[in-house]
Amino acid sequence: MGSPYLLSQVELKPGDLIEIFRSCYQHWAIYVGDGKVVHLAPPCEHPMDGVASVLAALSDRAYVKKDWLEDVVRKDRYRVNNKHDETHPPLPISKIVRRAEELVGREMPYNLTSHNCEHFVMELRYGVAMSDQVTEAIAMGTVGVMGVAAAVIRSMAQRRKHRKE
């Protein structure tokens, strides 16, 4: 495989999931052929928008767009990531691409935890809307909260111990 930033179009197949590594999140698109991808983009997913991820969190709508892969990727690293093929058989490629193309131009609900760009492409490829980013963030949040709780409890126990001495 070539550079981690650019894959040749020969390596990309219609229906492939493209994971794009933004500064603090991953944007997802689905390859539909001829150098183009379909993706769900909040109004703030623009090339020059450095606060896109913050503004996306505030948005409740997004648009299905068909763009050149290189325009969506910009200077970010990306890869093909059909990560659930083992557990969720992909739909037929013709159906994936047809469904993606039919949605182009539509406004859709957007929510970071239930209707984001990863949910969108997973539903196109597998027929199931899912987002590992959300699952991992929730798990990390839970671990973080548990860690803070453990630290507070430990601190309180140490204070009691010192008071008794």
Tell me whether residue 39 is one of the annotated catalytic residues.
yes
Which entry of 24, 27, 46, 84 is annotated as an active-site residue? 27
The kind and range of the H/E element at 61 are strand 61-68
Strand order in the sheet with 17-21: 77-80, 17-21, 26-33, 36-41, 61-68, 107-109
The token pair at 14 is 């219609």
- Please write the tens of the pLDDT for every residue from 55-73: 555 678 899 999 999 999 9
Q: Residues 44, 84, 117, 119: which is the catalytic one?
A: 117
Amino acid at 39: H
Q: Which of 15-29, 34-48, 121-135 has the lowest mean pLDDT?
A: 34-48
Query: Residues 70-124: pLDDT tens digits?
Result: 999 999 999 999 999 999 999 999 999 999 999 999 999 988 788 899 999 999 9
pLDDT category at 133 given cuts 50, 70, 90 is confident
Q: 27 catalytic, yes or no?
A: yes
What would the pLDDT profile of 35-51 be if each residue is shown by its tens digit?
Answer: 999 999 987 655 444 44
Decide if 78 contacts 21 (C-beta within 8 A).
yes
Query: Is the whole model's pTM more than 0.75, yes or no?
Result: no
Helix or strand or coil: residue 12? Answer: coil
Q: How far is CA 57 from CA 95, 136, 142, in A?
A: 30, 17, 20
Ramachandran quadrant class, 122 (left: phi over 0; alpha: psi -120 to 50; beta: rest): alpha
